[in-house]
Amino acid sequence: MTRPTLSHVDAGGRARMVDVGAKRATARRAVAEGAIAMDAVAFRLVKANRVAKGDVLRVAELAGIGGAKRTADLIPLCHPLRLDHVAVTATLDSKLPGVRVRAEARLTGRTGVEMEALTACAVALLVVYDMVKAADRGMVIGPIRLLEKSGGRSGTWRAEPPKRAPRARGASRKPKARATKR
């Protein structure tokens, strides 16, 4: 059985940027998702488009696209990429309550776009937090995860469905009160 290795670490254990010069350019795609849970009051404000800073969902989508384009500036070992396409969708989810974000990045190139999709998702969620924090500073971001990637030498990969859905803030069971000795 072959042991997995870290592509961004050299034989001496030092961080390095992967040399992709000899790789063949292929069509590559990645999709990521994430969520931000907020209280019911904040959710109603976003849903009614009554947040003072503007249209939360549309601004988050635009910021996510911008984030994907700037990934190499934020993640030190990422290659600057000429993205062919980035799409970010922010939608309300009353079950959280909150916002779910899905981001897709595509290109034809020598390296994958997983980090671009993940960055787009993270930036969009951070923008939601920034725009709604006046109503709820206790919002919770996450999980953010890669759903799928395709292209390149490793081919297609898809995430397993979550074993259990994450609980919205406040929905977890409260710990039992402990008796304390005085």
Mind telling me the catalytic residues? Answer: 130
d(CA 144, CA 92): 16
For residue 11, what are the CA distances in angstroms to 5, 19, 82? 10, 14, 30
Q: What residues does 146 pair with on adjacent strands?
A: 32
d(CA 33, CA 41): 24
Please state the three-class secondary structure of 96-111 as a single string: CCEEEEEEEEEEEECC
